[in-house]
Amino acid sequence: MGSCIIFCAAEFDALARPVGAGDHVIAADGGLRHTEKLGIVPDEILGDFDSLGFTPEGANVFPVEKDDTDAMLAVRRGLTLGYREFLLYGSLGGPRLDHTVANFQTLQFLADHGAVGYLIGNTTMVTVVKNGSLTFPQGGSGTISVFCMGADAEGVDIEGLYYPLKNGTLSAGFPLGVSNHFLREKTRISVKQGSLLVLWDRENGFPLR
Q: How confident is the model over 4-28, as pLDDT tens digits?
A: 999 999 988 899 999 999 999 999 9
Q: How confident is the model over 167-198, as pLDDT tens digits?
A: 999 999 999 999 999 999 999 999 999 999 99
By CB atoms closer than 10 A (0-12, 13-18, 19+), residue 68 is middle
Say how far apart CA 162 and CA 11 lie, in whole Å. 31
Q: Is the pLDDT of residue 60 over 90?
A: no
Q: Do 21 and 46 meet the contact criterion of CB atoms below 8 Å apart? A: no
Say how far apart CA 135 and CA 188 lie, in whole Å. 4
Helix axes 97-112, 70-80, angle to 10 degrees: 20
Phi, psi of 14 (to 5 degrees): -160, 165
Q: What is the mean pLDDT of residues 135-151?
A: 97
Q: Percent of the chain, pLDDT > 90?
A: 86
Q: Which of the four pLDDT bands, split at 50, 70 and 90, describes residue 100?
A: very high
Cβ neighbours of 89 (radius 10 Å)? 26
User: Amino acid letter at 2?
Assistant: G
- For the chain, the average pLDDT equals 95
- pLDDT, residue 94, reads 77
- pLDDT, residue 95, reads 76
Q: Which of the four pLDDT bands, split at 50, 70 and 90, describes residue 199?
A: very high
User: What is the CA angle 70-73-79, rounded to 5?
Assistant: 145
Q: Do 200 and 143 meet the contact criterion of CB atoms below 8 Å apart? A: yes
- pLDDT, residue 140, reads 97
Q: Which of the four pLDDT bands, split at 50, 70 and 90, describes residue 63?
A: confident
Domains and CATH numbers, the chain: 4-122 (3.40.50.10240), 129-204 (3.40.50.10240)
Q: Is the pLDDT of residue 120 over 80?
A: yes
- pLDDT, residue 204, reads 98
Q: Do 105 and 23 meet the contact criterion of CB atoms below 8 Å apart? A: no
Within 13 Å, how many C-alpha atoms sit on residue 36's CB side? Answer: 10
Using CA atoms, how far residue 180 sits from 27, 119, 196, in Å, is 34, 19, 14
User: Amino acid letter at 167?
Assistant: N
> Which helix (H) or strand (E) is 28 found in, with range?
strand 24-28
Q: Do 128 and 108 meet the contact criterion of CB atoms below 8 Å apart? A: yes
